[in-house]
Amino acid sequence: MCPAGTENAAGNKASGADTTCNAITCSSDLRVVAHACEKCPVGTSNAAGDDASGPDTACDAVKCSADRRVVGNACEMCPAGTDNAAGDDASGADTTCDAIKCSANQRVVGHACETCPAGTENAAGGDASGTDTTCHAIKCTANQRVVDHACSACPAGTEHSAGGDASGADTTCAAIHCAKNQYVKSHACNACPAGSTNAAGDDASGADTKCDPTRCAANKKVVSNECRGCPAGKSNAKGDSAAEEDSVCDAIKCAENQHVQDHACIACPAGTNNKAGDDASGVNSVCDAIKCATNQQVRRNACVSCPASSINTAGDDASGSDTKCNAGCTVTTHKVANCGGNIIASYHTYGWSEWRWSWGYQENYPVSAKVAGECTRVELYDEDYNRAGYGDNLNKTSLGCVNLPWDLKYDLGGLQIIAKA
């Protein structure tokens, strides 16, 4: 008999020399057990060539390759959409594959993870072992536009509302138009400097712009870049720039024959005058009364010349009531009663005067006398005494014609005239 684990073909001649048996060599997936080749246990394998004449051998556990799992001690392909690392032991218990989790911006298509279409996105974690999934359109934020399915910042000086769809067609940003009192600097809208203004509508996507200085109107000055009214009694020409330093108003100087009242130049009252130059920003001023010259009188607050044969002293106040020149008192003697016929003589004075005689035509012809003008009293003398105060003298205190009494007719010795002051 051949030793255990060996064999020999039939036909050796026993009459011949000794022969030997050959070791039995196990084929693949067999192991040596008690010098016999036995099948490897399920889930194990062994290379061919184990020597059955030698000691027992063992089979090695089958290690599944990547994306396979153990099912009934055999390595099977993982279900679609799942995977498994290499190395599962087929000699052991069944194993499972893990669902493939898609990365960010991938979707599930036919249990495989595919890149999202341009302009769309998806959160990581999509389960490739499940149903197909979709990606969501990328929504651009404020001030972004769509360029080749990507959100890009708007060019300087332009803007766009949030929500542009990156999965769609390209979009454009609109030019930013500055508000009122703003200007463009480096494609941004900036507030105008103090004291300047600008109309709305400057295009921030274009070149820089400037604000226009505010020009103050007449009688205004610049205070802290604002146009403010001049103080009472002061003025200023128009055109001060509110964008520059503070400016001042000038005191108003009154013209000739004006005075200051409540910081305004007003005409002097009738009958008064004033030199030019009163300062309207100061206290009230007054005009001086006009004083009439010699032989002038006041008429409607103006100095006018006295009528012919009238006089007046200087100093009448033209700002007051009308005055009168002194016309004096005049007495004329007549040859006929009731002041008719020829005039014999005429006597005139502005104050007090006396005429006396003792003969001649002045004595012998008068029959009547007429008193006219500004007279206080006229005394006609009897020629017998020829003095004021004589009892036969005729005193007249009223104006008009007087017929001489019998003792004075054809016998007038003189007269005294007292004119009104």
Q: Judge contact between 316 and 305, C-beta under 8 A.
A: no
Q: How far apart are CA 268 and CA 253, in angstroms?
A: 14
Tell me the two tokens of residue 135: 């990606």
Q: Is the dihedral of CA 66, 72, 78, 82 positive or negative?
A: negative
Q: Side chain identity at 227, as an amino acid letter?
A: C
Residue ranges in 185-323 assigned as alpha helix (H): none
Q: Given this model, what pLDDT does residue 8 score?
A: 86
Q: Is the dihedral of CA 330, 336, 338, 342 positive or negative?
A: negative
Q: Which residues contact 35 (CB under 8 A, 6 or more apart)?
A: 4, 5, 24, 52, 53, 54
pLDDT in tens, 171-202: 999 999 999 999 999 999 999 999 999 999 99
pLDDT in tens, 244-285: 999 999 999 999 999 999 999 999 999 999 999 999 999 999
For the chain, domain boundaries: 1-8+24-78, 106-137, 144-175, 182-213, 220-251, 258-289, 329-419
Q: Phi and psi dihedrals of 339, rounded to 5? A: 60, 35
Tell me the two tokens of residue 270: 């009738």
Indicate the pLDDT class of residue 29, thresholds 50, 70 and 90. confident
Q: How far apart are CA 152 and CA 409, in angstroms?
A: 136
Q: Taking residues 208-214, what's their average pLDDT?
A: 96
Q: Which residues contact 99 (CB under 8 A, 6 or more apart)?
A: 81, 82, 127, 128, 129, 130
Q: Given this model, what pLDDT does residue 81 score?
A: 94
Average pLDDT, the chain: 94
Indicate the pLDDT class of residue 77, thresholds 50, 70 and 90. very high
Tell me the two tokens of residue 415: 């007269």
Q: How far apart are CA 30 and CA 254, in angstroms?
A: 136
The answer to whether residue 12 scores a pLDDT higher than 90 is no
Q: Taking residues 322-337, what's their average pLDDT?
A: 95
Q: Judge contact between 227 and 254, C-beta under 8 A.
A: no
Q: Taking residues 103-115, what's their average pLDDT?
A: 95
Q: Given this model, what pLDDT does residue 4 score?
A: 81
In the three-class reduction of DSSP (H, G, I as helix; E, B as strand; rest coil), residue 394 is classed as strand
Q: Given this model, what pLDDT does residue 309 score?
A: 86
Q: Judge contact between 402 and 369, C-beta under 8 A.
A: yes
Closest CA to 332 of 324, 320, 340, 322: 340
Specify the DSSP element, H or E, that contains 150.
strand 150-153
Query: HSE on the CB side for 398, CA within 13 Å?
Result: 3
Q: Count the Cβ atoms, other than its own, within 10 Å of residue 111.
A: 17
Q: How far apart are CA 212 and CA 231, in angstroms?
A: 26
Q: Judge contact between 285 and 274, C-beta under 8 A.
A: yes
Q: Given this model, what pLDDT does residue 240 score?
A: 95
Q: Given this model, what pLDDT does residue 266 score?
A: 98
> What are the distances in angstroms from CA 78 to CA 112, 125, 381?
13, 19, 171
The answer to whether residue 106 scores a pLDDT higher than 90 is yes
In the three-class reduction of DSSP (H, G, I as helix; E, B as strand; rest coil), residue 363 is classed as helix
Q: Given this model, what pLDDT does residue 6 score?
A: 87
Indicate the pLDDT class of residue 319, thresholds 50, 70 and 90. very high
Query: HSE on the CB side for 359, CA within 13 Å?
Result: 0
Chain-centre distance of CA 152, in angstroms? 35
Q: Taking residues 371-395, what's their average pLDDT?
A: 95
The answer to whether residue 297 scores a pLDDT higher than 80 is yes
Indicate the pLDDT class of residue 289, thresholds 50, 70 and 90. very high
* Tokens 């005193």 sit on residue: 395
What's the fold here for domain 329-419? Gamma-B Crystallin; domain 1 (2.60.20)
Q: Phi and psi dihedrals of 372, rounded to 5? A: -140, 155
Q: Taking residues 160-169, what's their average pLDDT?
A: 95
The answer to whether residue 13 scores a pLDDT higher than 80 is no
Q: Taking residues 48-58, what's their average pLDDT?
A: 91
Q: Side chain identity at 404, as an amino acid letter?
A: L
In the three-class reduction of DSSP (H, G, I as helix; E, B as strand; rest coil), residue 179 is classed as coil
Indicate the pLDDT class of residue 123, thresholds 50, 70 and 90. very high
* Tokens 């300062």 sit on residue: 279
Q: Using a pLDDT cut of 70, give the percent of the chain over it.
A: 100
